[in-house]
Amino acid sequence: MQLHSFVKLKRKELGFTQIEMSKKAGVGVRFIRELERGKETLKLNKVNQVLSLFGYELGPVAITRTLEAHEEG
């Protein structure tokens, strides 16, 4: 699951609006909106502030794409 989908799903599970979640995480509502839209350039410390509400933090994840896809590009 991608980060933006995970955050949106967890937010909805907890019944938070984007505004409520931004206040609880200590980030702006614009940041929450951008995170949930999948913006590619976000500050990692702010992402971790949001993820900590769910008991998570960012970490390395193995790439599941095949090497062939990279070699063709």
Among 24-28, 33-37, 63-67, the range scoring the smallest mean pLDDT is 63-67
Specify if 50 maps to a domain.
yes
> What pTM does this model have?
0.79
pLDDT mean over 9-26: 96
User: What local confidence, expressed as pLDDT, does residue 66 receive?
Assistant: 62
CA distance readout (Å), 72 to 59, 62, 64, 67, 69: 28, 20, 16, 9, 5
Specify if 72 maps to a domain.
no
pLDDT tens digit string along 40-72? 999 999 999 999 999 999 999 888 876 555 555
Q: What CATH number did the domain enclosing 45 receive?
A: 1.10.260.40
Specify if 21 maps to a domain.
yes
Specify if 60 maps to a domain.
yes
Task: Give the chain's domain count.
Answer: 1
Q: Is 55 exposed, middle or buried (0-12, 13-18, 19+ CB in 10 A)?
A: exposed
Distance, in Å, from the CA atom of 62 to the CA atom of 52, rounded to the nearest integer, reads 21
Specify if 26 maps to a domain.
yes
Specify if 27 maps to a domain.
yes
Specify if 71 maps to a domain.
no
Distance, in Å, from the CA atom of 73 to the CA atom of 4, rounded to the nearest integer, reads 26
- How would residue 1 be classed by pLDDT, with cut points 50, 70 and 90? confident
